Amino acid sequence: MTRFKRHIAPLQKIPYLPYLLKWLLLALAIGVCSGSASAFFLNALDWVTNFRESHTWIIALLPLGGLIIGLTYHYYGTGIVKGNNLLLEELHTPKQIIPFKMAPLVLFGTLVTHLFGGSAGREGTAVQMGGAIADRFTHIFKLNDSDRKIIIIMGISAGFASVFGTPLAGALFALEVMILGRMRYQAIAQSFLVAYIAHYTCMAWQVSHTHYHIPVVPAMQPVTILWIVLAGILFGITALLFSQSMHFFSNLFKKINYPPLRPVIGGVVIALAVWALGTTKYIGLGIPTILESFETQQPAYAFLLKLTLTAFTLGAGFKGGEVTPLFFIGAALGNALFLFVPLPIALLAGMGFVAVFSGATNTPIACTIMGMELFGYQCGLYIGLACVVAYFCSGSKGIYTSQIIGGPKYFLYKRFGTK
């Protein structure tokens, strides 16, 4: 015992050792739990997607799926219906622990949405599950408000990193999405640590992520920069259109006084739209079409169809995320730009993939890193410039209404009264 005390004594003199151990243990717990939850979610999502595609008649039951989701949230989820915006609100003004029921309810709602044919993503589900799981530790360990903000950031980071297989982007997204124009560097170490733990936990469950490939990246030239800027402007305008469409349909459906009816009516419209289109490529995640956008020419209107269906689906009250549909919209738009922009089709699709996401979420740094993680670091200059331009051209309000504007994007905003 004396020998043990002699060896442990130097460690006890390290001033920040208890602090480091606390966050290391919390990162392990949150990362393993969130990564495992994402693994289950991704496997379940693959199953319901495959079932829907092999039994397309089930799309006719989308109004029934909407009723199930509407009733579930009306009677059991009134306090968590804000989803990602609730996480952001608790980051800015902590009030109460995020109810753990957010995790199973958003999981259930997202799977039902995809099973019956809604157009939605998966990021929102993983982020909400990660946030709800992480905030449990606030209650268990009686953490103060300052530590709780870090905990929620860790939950967002873990969920995003594990569901997309991009730990660097997940860590930066959690830090960047909070306040437009500012980052919370106090949580940077915890955010990166938990992102990698969650990512490798998800991989340990034998979950595979979609792989994208940009075979040709031309040398950067002055004229090339002009084409990238032009493409970035179009990506930013499209991101703005998506955000405004989301808010428009959300406000439109709020005019229906009984909330469970909103996804029922929305489900009828979406099911009829799918029947009229005669294809299922614009519902669900749309991964096959995203992959095709890197290789073969798609209809020039594909991005607009996906944009409208996704904004309508989520505005009606169905559950899921916005990010994967944004990938679809951006990749399809980049594919369409190949008609007149003299850049490789895969590069344009990859630029749009992350640039529209950048503009809609106001996270250009995370999106740039995500593009390099997914497509390779050799296309970083193209992706980075497209993401920054799209960010500046997408307006001050993105898809997250609770995102605080920490500062104007550029001086023109000041002239128009944006604070």
Collect all residues with Cβ–Cβ distance below 8 Å to 288 and sequence separation of at least 6.
281
pLDDT, tens digit (0-9, with 9 covering 90-100), for 58-98? 999 999 999 999 999 999 998 898 888 888 888 778 888 99
Structural domain tally of the chain?
2
* Mean pLDDT confidence for 330-347: 97
Whether residue 100 contacts residue 136, with contact meaning beta carbons closer than 8 Å, is answered with: yes
**Residue 354 vs residues 27, 221, 322, 335, 349: alpha-carbon distances, Å:** 27, 22, 13, 13, 9
Beta bridge partners, 404, equal 179
CA distance 231 to 236: 9
Which of 204, 233, 252 delimits the end of a domain? 204
- If you count DSSP H runs as helices and E runs as strands, how many of each does the chain have, helices first? 18, 2
- Do 163 and 306 sit in the same domain of this protein? no
Domain assignment present for 162? yes
d(CA 205, CA 200): 9
- Alpha-carbon separation of residue 352 from 57, 210, 232 (angstroms): 33, 17, 8
The whole-number pLDDT of residue 397 equals: 81
Q: Measured between alpha carbons, how far is 244 from 221 in angstroms, rounded to an integer?
A: 35
276 with 379, same domain: the answer is: yes
Asked whether residue 291 is assigned to any structural domain, the reply reads yes
Distance, CA of 286 to CA of 299 (rounded, Å): 14
Residue 180 has pLDDT above 80, yes or no: no
Q: Is 381 within a domain?
A: yes
For residues 142 and 189, state if they share a domain.
Answer: yes
Residue 146's pLDDT is 87
The two three-digit tokens of residue 199, written as one number: 């990512």
Kindly indicate the confidence band of residue 159, based on its pLDDT and cuts at 50, 70 and 90.
very high
What is the residue range of 348's domain? 222-415
Integer Cα distance of 324 and 286 in angstroms:
8
Query: Is 216 a domain residue?
Result: no
Q: Which of 204, 233, 259 is the last residue of a domain?
A: 204
**In sequence order, what are the residues at sequence separation of 6 or more whose Cβ sits closer than 8 angstroms to the Cβ of residue 419?**
405, 408
Q: Which CATH number does the domain housing residue 190 bear?
A: 1.10.3080.10
Is the predicted pLDDT of residue 43 greater than 80, yes or no? Answer: yes
Q: Which of 306, 160, 178 is nearest to 245 (CA)?
A: 306
Task: Measure the CA–CA gap between 44 and 37, rounded to whole angstroms.
Answer: 11
Query: Do the domain assignments include residue 211?
Result: no
- Asked which of 46-55, 156-165, 178-187, 373-382 is least confident by mean pLDDT, the reply is 178-187
- In the predicted model, is pLDDT for residue 417 greater than 60? no
SS (H, E, C) 249-314: HHHHHCCCCCCCHHHHHHHHHHHHHHHHHCCCCCCCCCHHHHHHHCCCCCCCCHHHHHHHHHHHHH
- CA gap 44, 135 in Å, rounded: 24
Instruction: Indicate if 251 and 187 belong to the same structural domain.
Output: no
